[in-house]
Amino acid sequence: ENLGFAEESFLYVGGTAAAPLKIKTSSDYVFDNPHAGKSVAFIPQIQIAGNDGVVRWIDTLWIYENNYTWGVNVTITSDGKIGIFAGAESLLSKNSGNRSGLPYGFRPPNDANVVEAPFRLRLIK
């Protein structure tokens, strides 16, 4: 699953690769950071089935627009914690016009809002 980065791995906070944490919209979590003090970028990912029927891990970002929130925000604190907050409208990053930035085949059927999904962090060192 490495996307070509020399130092890429995955962190299954609150779960495992076999049983990842399922996050829901408007939820928040705090986890210890096993990479505290290291130069690591965390990219939130959710697992969804696309219009093409394939289940994939998809990067999701945080978007705020006109009092609506989409995606997942990851915050790293100075005391070594990972804070995760999920948007109220959908875990998949998109905007009020349902523009997710994903090719049609990767998007959920009917551009449905994703309200619960398996979650992990992609790490790039």
pLDDT tens digits, one per residue of 15-62:
999 999 999 999 999 999 999 888 888 999 999 998 888 999 998 888
In the chain, where the domains are located:
8-124
pLDDT tens digits, one per residue of 82-125:
999 999 888 887 655 556 667 777 878 777 788 999 999 999 88
Q: Which CATH architecture has domain 8-124?
A: Sandwich (2.60)
Q: Residue 64: enclosing H or E segment and its boundaries?
A: strand 63-65
For residue 80, the model assigns a pLDDT of 87
Residue position matching structure tokens 């945080």: 62
pTM score over 0.95: no
For residue 70, the model assigns a pLDDT of 84
